[in-house]
C-alpha cells in the first residue's frame, strides 16, 4: 500500500510559482474554444484579431456555424466581474468577515446549480454568523454534503464544531532529522536483504526436512540408516526454525524503523509502539539463542511451539501498527489536499476577476471532482480509524483479523487519493497555463489559516 507515492505526488504539486510565460487569459479561452469547436488552424492569430475587434466576433462565430454566437462572444471577451454582485443569500455582516474567494465559491455553486438556489439561500439564511463563517471555510465536498442533509441535522453538525486559527500546516506531527531517516533507510534495506536470505534458506531447509521425514517413515527403525535420518532431521528442523525466527525478526525490524521515523505519528504513540515491537524482537532473539544445537526432537518441538505463540501476538501487533501508520499517513495526504483546495479556490477567484468563467472552461467542475475524491478518501479513513480504535484492546489473531476491515477501508481511500491526485495534476496544469500564482488564498493571514474542527468535551479528552 504505497501511500508514500501519493504523498510525494501531491507534495510535488504544492509549491507553485509564476508560470514561465504569462499567457493572456482571455486569449487562451478563445484559442481553446476555437480549437475545440471549429476547424480554424491559426487559432491564436484569429483570436488576436477578434480581441482587437478587427473581426466582429458574433459574425465570425456565426459563419462557423455557432448557434449561440452572442453568448459565446460574451464569454470569450467580456470583462471579468463578480459572479453575483448582490448576494441576497447571505447577510452583509457575514460577507464582511468571510474572505471574498470563499463567497465566490458558493456564488459559482449557485450559478452552476440554479435549481438548488432556493435551497442554498434557505440553508444559509438559517445559519448564525458563527456557523456561516464555519460553513464558508469548509471544503467544497463537505459543503455539498451538508447541503444534501436535513437542515436541522446540518446545523447540528456545524454547532458541534468550532472555527480555530492554526499555523500554516507542515503536514507533520514531529520533525525527523535527515540523519535519522538515512539511518532507518539503511536498517530497512539490511532487514530486507536479511529477510530474503533467511526466507530462501527457510524454503530450502524445510523442503529437505520434509523429504527426510518422508524417507524416515519408510525406514527400518533399528537400522543405522534410520538413525542417520533422525540426526539429519533434527539438524534440518533446527535450521529451518532458526530461519523462521530470522524472518520474523527482520519483518518486525522493518515495521519498527518505519514507525520510528514516521513524521505523521505523535511522539507518545511512536514510543509505545516501538517499545512493544522491541519487546517482541527481544523474545524472538531469546528463542533464537536456544537454536543451533538442539539436543532432541522434543526440545525442538517445544521451541517451535513457543515461537508460534510469540509470533501470534507480535505479528498481530505489527499488522495493527502498520494500519495505524498508513491511516495517519493517509490523513496527512488529505490535510495536504484540503489545503491545496483552499489555494486553488483562491486562484479560481483570481481567474474569475480576470474575466474567465471558470465554470465555462470546466475548471470549477474539475476542482469539485477533486474535492469529492478527497472527501470520499477522508470518510473511508475516518471509518478505518473507528475500526482501529474499536480493536485496540484485542490481542493475537483476533487483533489481526479485526484490523483487516480497516485495511480494506484504507485501500479504498488510497484509490480515491490516487484519482484525486490525477485530477489535481490536470487542474494545476490548467491554472499554470493562465499564468496564475498560487499564493496563500487567505488574505492578510501570512502565518495562519482557519480550520473547522470538532468540539471535544474535556471529559472525553481525559478518558483512558
Of 289, 304, 334, which residue constitutes the final position of a domain?
289
Residues 285 and 331 in one domain: no
CB 390 within 8 A of CB 368: no
Phi, psi of 448 (to 5 degrees): -150, 160
Residues 220 and 282 in one domain: yes
Instruction: Give residue 358's pLDDT band: very low, low, confident or very high (50, 70, 90).
Output: confident
Is the pLDDT assigned to residue 20 strictly greater than 50? no
Residues 244 and 201 in one domain: yes
What pairs with residue 164 in β-bridges?
Answer: 451
Q: Please check whether residue 223 lies inside any domain of the structure.
A: yes
Residues 428 and 335 in one domain: yes
Query: Which is higher by pLDDT, 350 or 454?
Result: 350
Instruction: Report which listed range, 10-14, 64-68, 158-162, 299-303, is most confident.
Output: 299-303
Q: Please check whether residue 220 lies inside any domain of the structure.
A: yes
DSSP 321-333: HHHHHHHHHHHHH
Residues 275 and 344 in one domain: no
Which of 248, 246, 240, 274 is closest to 259 using CA atoms?
274
Which of 293, 307, 302, 287 is closest to 234 using CA atoms?
293
Query: Which is higher by pLDDT, 352 or 416?
Result: 416
Q: Please check whether residue 62 lies inside any domain of the structure.
A: no
Number of domains in the chain: 2
Q: Please check whether residue 303 lies inside any domain of the structure.
A: no
The 10s digit of each residue's pLDDT in 123-160 is 877 888 788 878 887 877 788 888 888 888 888 888 88
Is the pLDDT assigned to residue 46 strictly greater than 70? yes
Residues 408-436, mean pLDDT to the nearest whole number: 85
Residues 361 and 262 in one domain: no
Residues 56-85, mean pLDDT to the nearest whole number: 68
The model's pTM: 0.68
Which of 434, 440, 420, 432 is closest to 140 using CA atoms?
420
Residues 282 and 340 in one domain: no
Residues 251 and 186 in one domain: yes
Residues 267 and 343 in one domain: no
Query: Which is higher by pLDDT, 166 or 344?
Result: 344
The 10s digit of each residue's pLDDT in 189-224 is 999 999 999 999 999 999 998 999 888 888 877 778
Residues 277-305, mean pLDDT to the nearest whole number: 91
Residues 285 and 328 in one domain: no
Q: Please check whether residue 265 lies inside any domain of the structure.
A: yes
Which of 157, 109, 140 is closest to 340 using CA atoms?
140
Distance of alpha carbon 13 from alpha carbon 346, whole angstroms: 16
Task: Fill in the DSSP letter of residue 303.
Answer: H
Q: Please check whether residue 28 lies inside any domain of the structure.
A: no
Distance of alpha carbon 312 from alpha carbon 329, whole angstroms: 26
Which of 219, 245, 249, 254 is closest to 233 using CA atoms?
219
Q: Please check whether residue 200 lies inside any domain of the structure.
A: yes
Q: Please check whether residue 355 lies inside any domain of the structure.
A: yes
Residues 272 and 328 in one domain: no
Domain that holds residue 273: 178-289
At 81 the pLDDT is 39
Residues 260 and 355 in one domain: no
Instruction: Give residue 89's pLDDT band: very low, low, confident or very high (50, 70, 90).
Output: low
Phi, psi of 164 (to 5 degrees): -125, 150
Residues 259-275, mean pLDDT to the nearest whole number: 90
Which residues have CB under 8 Å from 305's CB, separation 6+? none
Amino acid at each position: 500500500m504505497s501511500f508514500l507515492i501519493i504523498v510525494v505526488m501531491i507534495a510535488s504539486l504544492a509549491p507553485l510559482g509564476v508560470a514561465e510565460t504569462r499567457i493572456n487569459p482571455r486569449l487562451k479561452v478563445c484559442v481553446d474554444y476555437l480549437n475545440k469547436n471549429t476547424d480554424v488552424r491559426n487559432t491564436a492569430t484569429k483570436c488576436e484579431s477578434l480581441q482587437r475587434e478587427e473581426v466582429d466576433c458574433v459574425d465570425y462565430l456565426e459563419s462557423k456555424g455557432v448557434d449561440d454566437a452572442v453568448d459565446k462572444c460574451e464569454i470569450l471577451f467580456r470583462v471579468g466581474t463578480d459572479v453575483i454582485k448582490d448576494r441576497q443569500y447571505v447577510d452583509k455582516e457575514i460577507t464582511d468577515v468571510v474572505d471574498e474567494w470563499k463567497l465566490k465559491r458558493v456564488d459559482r455553486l449557485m450559478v452552476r446549480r440554479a435549481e438548488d438556489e432556493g435551497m442554498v439561500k434557505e440553508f444559509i439564511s438559517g445559519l448564525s454568523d458563527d456557523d456561516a463563517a464555519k460553513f464558508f471555510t469548509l471544503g467544497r465536498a463537505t459543503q455539498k454534503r451538508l447541503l444534501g442533509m436535513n437542515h436541522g441535522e446540518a446545523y447540528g453538525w456545524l454547532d458541534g464544531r468550532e472555527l480555530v486559527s492554526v499555523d500554516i500546516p507542515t503536514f507533520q506531527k514531529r520533525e525527523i532529522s535527515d540523519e535519522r531517516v538515512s539511518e532507518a533507510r539503511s536498517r530497512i534495506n539490511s532487514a530486507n536483504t536479511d529477510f530474503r536470505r533467511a526466507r530462501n534458506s527457510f524454503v530450502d531447509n524445510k523442503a529437505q526436512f520434509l523429504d527426510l521425514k518422508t524417507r524416515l517413515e519408510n525406514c527400518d527403525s533399528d537400522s543405522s540408516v534410520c538413525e542417520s535420518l533422525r540426526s539429519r532431521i533434527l539438524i534440518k528442523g533446527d535450521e529451518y526454525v532458526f530461519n523462521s525466527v530470522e524472518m520474523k525478526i527482520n519483518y518486525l525490524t522493518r515495521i519498527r524503523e518505519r514507525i520510528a521515523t514516521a513524521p505523521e505519528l505523535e511522539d507518545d504513540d511512536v514510543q509505545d509502539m516501538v517499545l512493544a515491537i522491541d519487546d517482541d524482537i527481544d523474545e524472538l532473539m531469546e528463542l533464537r539463542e536456544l537454536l543451533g544445537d538442539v539436543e532432541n526432537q522434543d526440545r525442538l518441538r517445544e521451541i517451535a511451539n513457543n515461537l508460534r505463540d510469540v509470533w501470534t501476538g507480535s505479528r498481530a501487533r505489527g499488522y495493527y501498527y502498520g494500519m495505524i501508520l498508513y491511516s495517519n499517513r493517509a490523513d496527512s495526504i488529505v490535510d495536504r489536499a484540503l489545503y491545496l483546495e483552499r489555494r486553488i479556490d483562491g486562484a479560481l477567484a483570481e481567474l474569475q476577476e480576470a474575466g474567465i468563467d471558470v465554470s465555462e472552461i470546466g475548471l470549477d467542475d474539475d476542482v469539485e471532482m477533486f474535492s469529492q475524491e478527497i472527501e470520499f478518501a477522508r470518510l473511508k479513513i475516518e471509518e478505518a480509524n473507528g475500526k482501529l480504535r474499536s480493536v485496540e484492546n484485542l490481542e493475537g489473531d483476533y487483533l489481526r483479523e479485526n484490523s483487516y476491515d480497516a485495511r480494506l477501508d484504507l485501500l479504498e481511500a488510497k484509490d480515491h487519493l490516487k484519482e484525486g491526485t490525477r485530477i489535481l495534476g490536470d487542474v494545476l496544469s490548467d491554472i499554470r497555463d493562465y499564468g496564475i500564482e498560487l499564493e496563500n488564498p487567505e488574505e492578510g493571514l501570512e502565518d495562519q489559516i482557519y480550520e473547522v474542527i470538532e468540539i471535544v468535551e474535556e471529559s472525553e479528552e481525559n478518558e483512558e
